[in-house]
Amino acid sequence: MSSNLPKIAWIGLGIMGSPMSENLLKAGYPVTGFTLEQDKLDRLAKAGGTSASSIAEAVKDADVIITMVPASPQVEAISYGPAGILENAKQGALIIDMSSITPQTSVDLAKNAKEKGIRVIDAPVSGGEAGAIEAVLSIMVGGEKADFDEALPILEALGKTIVLCGPHGSGQTVKAANQLIVAVNIQACAEAVVFLEKSGVDLQAALDVLNGGLAGSTVLTRKKDNFLNRDFKPGFRIDLHHKDMGIVTDAARNVGAALPVGAVVAQLVASLRAQGDGGLDHSALLRAVERLSGQQV
């Protein structure tokens, strides 16, 4: 392990955070982590990282602090207050927030951090659990170019497509657009699956040929087996996509952009969650189409 590499604190070791932090360890970075579940801390330690007993302990010596938590309230909870990142990180530290949150939360965090001499970039990701494990995530960044350039070698250990999209909050705006496209795409695939099955077509053959043409997509490639096997083990939970659809519909309203199809899919995601499927993978939108089509699921 090179002593020249920056010391990294990682806050939030969930479905995405655990494999991502492990990829940094594989790249030689020293990583100290904090999360609420002891088994996740044990996993980090087993991979060669250091577990901390608090946010303050994790960030106190860190050059770079990476956060990966579910939503804006959690980002605010870990960032602010006496036990939070801003009160305990050293001056000059760089926060890379990889959570998917509202653009305004990112803008506010950057402003508040600057007053403490701490820099921030927002760097939400797309690619799901598989992309996190394989280190091929798409990473959309908002912030200052100098901070982006400093973070780039770290981000290159986590993803493949890494783009500075503009000032603070821009990464989150692009991520919101990403979640809009993904949700609509999954919904269209789910409707096609039910249509094909009810028509008596061989589903595997149909999805293979569809994925080779203009209807093909990363969503279909990644989620095809979920549809075929009705395997909805969460790679990205409906609960989180529900949160993201709220972000994109709210942000679109603020800028005067109409999202007619997105609004319908946001309601379909919300209804699936209301039916108790919030903990399932977002490919479980198929279950909602099946229910609407008179199939018992």
Q: Counting Cβ atoms within 10 Å, is residue 275 exposed (0-12), middle (13-18) or buried (19+)?
A: middle
- What are the angstrom distances between the C-alpha of 26 and each of 3, 82, 135, 226? 14, 33, 11, 29
Supply 260's token pair.
């007619």
Nearest to 193 by CA among 139, 237, 137, 232: 232
- Class of the CATH-defined domain 173-292: mainly alpha
- Class of the CATH-defined domain 8-167: alpha beta
Evaluate whether 32 touches 48 at the Cβ level (below 8 Å): no
Angle in degrees, CA 245, 138, 203, rounded to 5: 70
Same fold yes or no, 8-167 and 173-292: no
pLDDT per position in the chain (297 positions), as tens? 446 899 999 999 999 999 999 999 999 999 999 999 999 999 999 999 999 999 999 999 999 999 999 999 999 999 999 999 999 999 999 999 999 999 999 999 999 999 999 999 999 999 999 999 999 999 999 999 999 999 999 999 999 999 999 999 999 999 999 999 999 999 999 999 999 999 999 999 999 999 999 999 999 999 999 999 999 999 899 999 999 999 999 999 999 999 999 999 999 999 999 999 999 999 999 999 999 999 987
Q: Quick one: how far is CA 233 from the chain centroid?
A: 16
Kindly name the residue from 40, 175, 224, 243 that is annotated as catalytic: 175
> Which are the contacts of 245, defined by CB distance < 8 A and separation ≥ 6?
179, 180, 183, 262, 265, 266, 269, 270
Nearest to 138 by CA among 149, 129, 130, 126: 126
Task: Sort strands 125-126 and 137-142 into parallel, antiparallel or unpaired.
Answer: antiparallel
Q: Quick one: how far is CA 18 from the chain centroid?
A: 12
Q: State the Cα–Cα distance between residues 226 and 40, nearest whole angstrom.
A: 26
Q: Is the pTM of this model over 0.75?
A: yes
Evaluate whether 35 touches 17 at the Cβ level (below 8 Å): yes
- Active-site residue 60, yes or no? no
Q: Domain spans of the chain?
A: 8-167, 173-292
